[in-house]
Amino acid sequence: MTRILLVCLGNICRSPAAEGVLRTKAMTRGVSVAVDSAGTGGWHAGDPPDERMQAAAARRRYDLSALSARQVVPQDFNRFDLIFAMDRSNLANLEAMAPVGGMAERRLFLGDEEVPDPYYGGEAGFEHVLDLIEAAADRLLDELVTKATGGRATD
């Protein structure tokens, strides 16, 4: 089971959406993952995902309503195998927060591009974020399946 943490700034827009999308897609494909999300900042700790993000996700049948924001903690760097940052600023903050001996691999969720912060924009920004996240989740699950099967066909 691969343990994956998705990280953004507030943990109310991008990373909870990524958590919901990745968990749903993994379940549909039968890929064994444990998924959580957190923010590098703690201002929204305890809050549900932003209503605009919840609404955009619900239109695509992802239910984010049970999620609650939390801040990244030092233990995350050993509780997870992979920590994905939504943008370069999140990644830099994560590196600054990583304890000595923190083993989790840290990467950008989109490889070398960023999931833009939709917080101060309009509805289109949330749709764009979901498009990026859905594609990244598919690619990540492909990668995990390939790793698990040593590249052999699975069906």
13 in active site: no
* Residues 45, 86 contacting (CB under 8 angstroms): no
Q: How far is the CB of 20 from ligand 4NP (least distance, A)?
A: 13
8 in active site: yes
Query: Does position 9 bind ligand 4NP by CB under 6 A?
Result: yes
Quote the CA–CA distance of 84 and 43 in Å, as a whole number.
20
| Burial (0-12, 13-18, 19+ Cβ within 10 Å), 122 | exposed
Interface residue with ligand 4NP among 2, 5, 14, 35 (CB under 6 A) is 14
Active-site choice (13, 14, 23, 36): 14
Q: Which stretch binds ligand 4NP (CB under 6 A): 8-16, 18-26, 54-62, 135-143?
A: 8-16
Q: How far is the CB of 45 from ligand 4NP (least distance, A)?
A: 11
Instruction: Map the footprint of ligand 4NP across residues 92-131, applying CB under 6 A.
Output: 117, 119
Place of tokens 């919901």: 20
Quote the CA–CA distance of 151 and 146 in Å, as a whole number.
5
Q: How many CA atoms lie within 13 A of 140 on its CB side?
A: 30
Active-site choice (36, 76, 87, 117): 117
Encoding tokens for residue 123? 């509805």
- Contact residues for ligand 4NP (CB under 6 A)? 8-14, 43, 117, 119
- So which residues are the catalytic ones? 8, 14, 117
